[in-house]
Structure formats: structure tokens, C-alpha cells
Amino acid sequence: MKTAPDSVRTEPRLALITGSARRVGAVIAETLHDRGWTVFIHYRQSETDAAALAARLNARRPDSARILQADLNQPAAPQQLAERVLALTGGRLDALINNASSFYPTPAGSATLEQWDDLFASNARAPFFLSQTLTPALAACQGSIVNIVDIHASRPFRDYPVYCMAKAALAMMTRALAKDLAPRVRVNGVAPGAILWPEEHSESVIDPAVQAKILSGVPLGRLGAPADIARTVAFLVEDAPYITGQIIAVDGGRSQTLGEE
């Protein structure tokens, strides 16, 4: 079934954005909402932030944002979340944005099995099984999947080997599903560079000296903004009907000069 062209389509497009209560995910949700989408805001723990974001969006356009809680590290959670979304949409979905991610150091020699499972669950397993469960709905709408990868999926970041391996798996998933799900579903990725520093209270806080070194390697000479990622996601889901299997670096040119960090 082919969807109606945007010029005659009357119902809003529908997007599920994982990890979208805060930070980059929230900006992606708000950017799509500003373009007329109905958004499903997934969160794991940040219920207050998710509810506030949904309230703000619904004040602009009633019934245009819903919040859904799920711990995607639990094996059954991706399928359950997908089924909840489809129950709310009548089986329709135009875009899946796999943004939820754990990020923290696992220096070689001290990494644990629990850390391995956690990082691979959020960065690779959950995106795959969400994509798999939602593929029929996306195919019916000729929709798309966008995975938020990382420039360090191809060039490792010191002391983060497990995270980098998990993102490398997500990058390969992007390319593999682009081939397997064509022509009905497009699958692309966005690879952020230095966009937001980890929050100071988090276990992944980056030393100021390392931050300075990272910025010194960015040709544009500054941090990016969450809106840079969100606009690229919006382009891929709205204005790129002949693009699939691509991972777009949004990094101020840093991946072109990336060295050891």
C-alpha cells in the first residue's frame, strides 16, 4: 500500500523516538513535532521530563504527543514498546528514531559482563528488535528508520571500547537493514560528534583537558548543538526518499581529522 503524497495527506505522520525525554532526543521530538508530526516520547527513568515535554507540545497542538515508559535493556521490552505504539496508532508508523543509548567508559582490563550487556542492549539489541517488530507498520507507510550512531563507531574513543563496539554494531545494522528492508523501508544513521558534554553528575563525565583536546580537533572549532542532529534526522525522514544505507556524520568535520584521544 502506498501512502498519499504529502500534498494530499490529511493525517499527521507518526514517529517513535526512543530516549526522547531529555537532551538530543527531546530536541528531535520537538523538531519533528514542529513540522506537524505526532510524536511518541519514550523514556526509561525521566518521567518528569517526558511529561513536561509532552505537555508543552500538546499545548501547541492537542493530542500530538504521548509518553511511553520502557526499560529497553529488558529483553522483552522492545517488542512490548513497539506493540504499545501500534495499539495507539492503529498499526501505523512513519518513522522510528533509535536514539536511546548508554554511554560510559569501560577501560580494557576492568570492563564487566554487566557493562557489556548494558551497552549492547541499549545501543544494538533494542534498536534491532524495535526495528524488526515495527517493520510491517513502517513498510505499509513507506516509512524509515534513523539510528543515532556515533563517529566513534569507526574510530575508537580511548577507554570506551565496549560502547564503541556496540555503536559499530548499530552502524552495521543500519547498512544491513537498509538492504534487507528495501524498497519499502529506508534505514539511515546520524553519527554525532561533539554535541553535548555528558552531565557532570554522570559516570561518563569527560575531563576538561580531554574536552579541550576534542574541540581542538574540530575544524569548525566549536561544539555542535542538538538541533544540528535533529535537523539531519528531519531531513532523512522527510526529504530524502532516495537515500538509504547512509550514516551522516554531524561533527563539524572532526571525523576527517580524528586521531587518538
- Catalytic residues, by residue number, are 163
Single out the residue of 119, 85, 87 nearest to residue 104, CA to CA: 119
Residues 6+ apart with CB under 8 A from 35: 234, 238
Give the integer Cα–Cα distance in Å for 241 and 125. 27
Determine the residue type at 5: P
What is the number of alpha carbons within 13 Å of residue 85 lying toward its C-beta? 33
Single out the residue of 72, 63, 67, 116 nearest to residue 98, CA to CA: 72
Cα angle value 36/40/42 (rounded, 5°): 145
- Exposure string over 175-190, b if 16+ CB within 10 A, otherwise e: bebbeebeebbbbbbb
Give the integer Cα–Cα distance in Å for 77 and 80. 5
Single out the residue of 247, 240, 23 nearest to residue 149, CA to CA: 247
- Written as nine digits, the cell of 60 is 501547541
